[in-house]
Structure 1
Amino acid sequence: MRYVKWGFWALVAIFVALFLSYNLPRHDIVRVVGTEVRRVDFGENSMFWASADVGSASGTSRDVRFINTVRPNGKTLVFRNEDTGWGWPPYFKLDSSDLQAQAESLISTKADPIWVSITRYGWRSRWLTIFPNAVGLKQVSGPDVRIIPWANIIILTLLVLLILTIRAMWRQFRQRSIDPLFDDASEAWDGAEERANGWFNKLFGRKR
């Protein structure tokens, strides 16, 4: 049972880590090299795409905005630019058109780079054909600038406090309500066993 218990909590920890990894915001320092709009047919990976722009019709196929970038090490990174609306994750992004125009205004060349910090959530997977969703961008002074993830620090701190609070409440509830029930049940079982032994002794005239 010990291995089952630890296996269960390991699976819970992995699920929570993946959930946070996908949904929490991250910052990538990149150079914007182009933007485009592509027609996307959604299939088995549709869960990794946001809803259609607010006010637009939704369906299994639609135009999606993309922002093409290059990292300081020369590797490419492509972002999708979709509204999140009022759904999940709760970024309440309603300005994908404005963000696309802002990205286009910051397009630069390798010879004269403009470095940009793009705030995004999600993963990039060529195998699953999924892209991180850009939720904001701003120009920065250079490729070595450090962005402190204040949002992640606050969210993770609150999450730890919530877990500790729930754990303390559960321990108090167990001590006050569950443990006494087990103690009463144990005492009742001991009493029943003693009475059974007494009846057995009377019936057979000997002690067990």
Structure 2
Amino acid sequence: MTYVKWIFWSVIALLMAAFLHYTLPQTDIVRISDTYEKRIDYGANSIFWSGSDNGSASASANRDVFFIQTVRANGKPIVYRNEDTGWGWPPYFKFDTATLQAEAADLRSTRAATDWVAVRHYGWRSELLSIYPNAVSVRAVDSADVTLIPWFNIVFLIVLFAVVWAVRVRWRRFRASRAEPGEFPSVPARRGWFSRWRNR
């Protein structure tokens, strides 16, 4: 039973970690090589694309999506989609897709004359699932070696950990206060038995 419990909570922890990794913002330092627009037909991967509550037709099975082609400092390409999140999840409240596309197009550069750009985004890139991270903002940076500290993620994770810890402590106290003597280690009867055993 103990192994089942540990497996269950391990799966929950992995799912939570994957959810946070997908949802929280990340920043890549890249060179923008091109921007374009493409009509996308949604399938089983539709959950990884923005919903229809941000101004697009709700009954449409496809729509035009902006894309931003980039290249990392190590030469590996990565493509971002550029979609509004609207009022949906994740709560980035992004409504400036057209403006962001214009900014990205203005920051394009070549390998010979490289201008590095910090692309803030969320989501994953998977060629197998045909999904792309969604760009939230772009801005020029001095070099590919610039250090950007993810302050929002740090503060958010600290607050989340504090909330989870506080709930856990209060839940254990609640259970202990209503437990029969000897049922939980925190109940006085168990502590008294341990004290008597230790003093033998």
Question: Structure 1-normalised TM-score?
Answer: 0.84
Distance 1:171 1:30 in 2: 48
Partner of 2:44: helix, strand, or coil?
coil
Amino acid in the other structure paired with 1:79: Y
Higher helix share: 1
Deviation at 1:53, TM superposition (A): 7.7
Distance 1:81 1:53 in 2: 16
CA contact 1:53–1:83 (8 Å) conserved in 2: no
Structure with bigger gyration radius: 1
Distance 1:52 1:77 in 2: 25
| Corresponding residue number in structure 1 for 2:47 | 47
Distance 2:62 2:182 in 1: 58
What does the per-residue CA deviation read over 1:83-136, in whole Å, with 9 as the maximum and x for residues that have no partner?
A: 000000011111011000000000001111110000000000000000000001
| Corresponding residue number in structure 2 for 1:5 | 5
Confirm whether residue 34 of structure 1 aligns to residue 29 of structure 2.
Answer: no
Amino acid in the other structure paired with 1:170: W
CA contact 2:54–2:87 (8 Å) conserved in 1: no
Question: Structure 2-normalised TM-score?
Answer: 0.88
| Corresponding residue number in structure 2 for 1:134 | 135
Distance 1:71 1:52 in 2: 31
Unmatched tracts of structure 1, length 5 or more: 184-208
RMSD (Å), alpha carbons? 1.6
Unmatched tracts of structure 2, length 5 or more: 185-200
The size of the alignment, in residue pairs, is 183
Distance 1:89 1:138 in 2: 21
CA contact 2:30–2:71 (8 Å) conserved in 1: yes
Deviation at 1:181, TM superposition (A): 11
Amino acid in the other structure paired with 1:57: A
CA contact 1:53–1:82 (8 Å) conserved in 2: no
CA contact 1:118–1:137 (8 Å) conserved in 2: yes
The percentage of aligned residue pairs carrying the same residue is: 52
